[in-house]
């Protein structure tokens, strides 16, 4: 059995930087167990599997300002796996998979939009005319924010107190978000990964994402998900989206604002994420580059 596979570095235009995702372009017929085994074998933070879109449940009416992601048929269905588990949604796999599909000529945007279907439902991916240079962006799925339990355990795992009470931001993955005092503290952080993994298992959270202004006009971000086999995610789209939602919830920013986040420097990846607050939601974007095109023989 032969399957086409691409590996795409996301949130960078430089090969071997950003965050790699393996994309199996024709996954129809693979079982869940086979997908998990492949993801464990690639040993990347995420591996995605592209499937035909689900049948459209009804045409509905697109008038009255309806959301195109809810009314348009999906262009493809995606399943996302870490080395240990399946995720309902993830950010860099969304951009990397769309980039791989576009590069392979397997999808065609409608009015500059692709609709990705996953466990969280439809996700809108914006495709500019110059997407190879300008990059892609997705609209963050609806999110929920709640106080993070057991904040003392988080402080102990971090080795430094957050500026404000941490929160769980559910964007499909359930990220614990904590703001630290400054970018230098974020960069120097060496958390207790065993404690973080135990926390995630205890509270059914995905991992911890920390952030702070880095003094260079950007927001410094780092993400840790040791319970899923990811000690540190190089550049995390859903984590950055969760940070953006957390900041909006605390009125640290507003609709119309945009900023750049920096992540991955500590693991040699140095990615850049573009965040934009629009009337229709939070948009997360960045560049991507294909580094491997090949065949998966099973």
- Active-site residue 179, yes or no? no
- SS3 of residue 67 by DSSP: coil
Is residue 221 packed enough to be buried (19+ CB in 10 Å), middle (13-18) or exposed (0-12)? buried
Cα–Cα distance for residue pair 45/20, rounded to 1 Å: 8
In the numeric block, which tokens belong to residue 228? 């899923």
Element (H, E) at 139: strand 136-139
Strand partners, 9: 20, 289
Q: From the CB of residue 78, how many other CB atoms can be counted at a distance below 10 Å?
A: 24
Local structure of 152: helix, strand or coil:
helix
d(CA 181, CA 162) in angstroms, rounded, equals 7
Active-site option among 46, 124, 179, 232: 46
Nearest to 173 by CA among 128, 228, 250, 235: 228
Question: For 271, which DSSP code?
Answer: E
Is beta strand 207-213 parallel, antiparallel or unpaired with respect to 174-179? parallel
d(CA 108, CA 247): 34
Cα separation of the two ends of the chain: 5
Residues annotated as catalytic are 46
């Amino acid at each position: 059995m032969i399957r086409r596979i691409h590996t795409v570095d996301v949130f960078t235009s430089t090969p071997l930087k950003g965050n790699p995702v393996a994309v199996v372009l024709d996954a129809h017929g693979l079982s869940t167990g086979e997908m998990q085994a492949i993801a464990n074998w690639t040993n990347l933070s995420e591996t995605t599997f592209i499937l035909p879109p689900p049948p459209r449940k009804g045409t509905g009416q697109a008038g009255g300002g309806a959301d195109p992601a809810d009314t348009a048929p999906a262009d493809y269905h995606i399943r996302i796996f870490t080395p240990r588990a399946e995720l309902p949604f993830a950010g860099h796999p969304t951009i990397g998979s769309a980039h791989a599909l576009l590069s392979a000529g397997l999808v065609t945007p409608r009015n500059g939009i692709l609709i990705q279907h996953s466990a969280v439902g439809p996700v809108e991916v914006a495709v500019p005319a110059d997407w190879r240079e300008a990059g892609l962006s997705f609209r963050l799925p609806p999110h929920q924010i709640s106080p993070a339990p057991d904040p003392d355990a988080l402080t102990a795992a971090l080795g430094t107190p957050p500026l404000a009470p941490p929160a769980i931001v559910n964007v499909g993955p359930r990220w614990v978000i904590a703001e630290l005092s400054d970018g230098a503290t974020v960069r120097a952080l060496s958390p207790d990964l065993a404690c973080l993994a135990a926390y995630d298992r205890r509270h059914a959270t995905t991992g911890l994402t920390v952030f702070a202004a880095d003094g260079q006009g950007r927001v410094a971000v780092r993400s840790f998900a040791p319970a899923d086999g990811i000690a540190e995610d190089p550049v995390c789209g859903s984590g950055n989206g969760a940070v953006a939602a957390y900041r909006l919830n605390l009125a640290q920013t507003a609709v119309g604002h945009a900023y750049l986040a920096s992540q991955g420097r500590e693991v040699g990846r140095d990615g850049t994420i573009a965040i934009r607050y629009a009337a229709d939601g939070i948009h997360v974007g960045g560049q991507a580059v294909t580094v491997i095109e090949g065949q998966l023989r099973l």
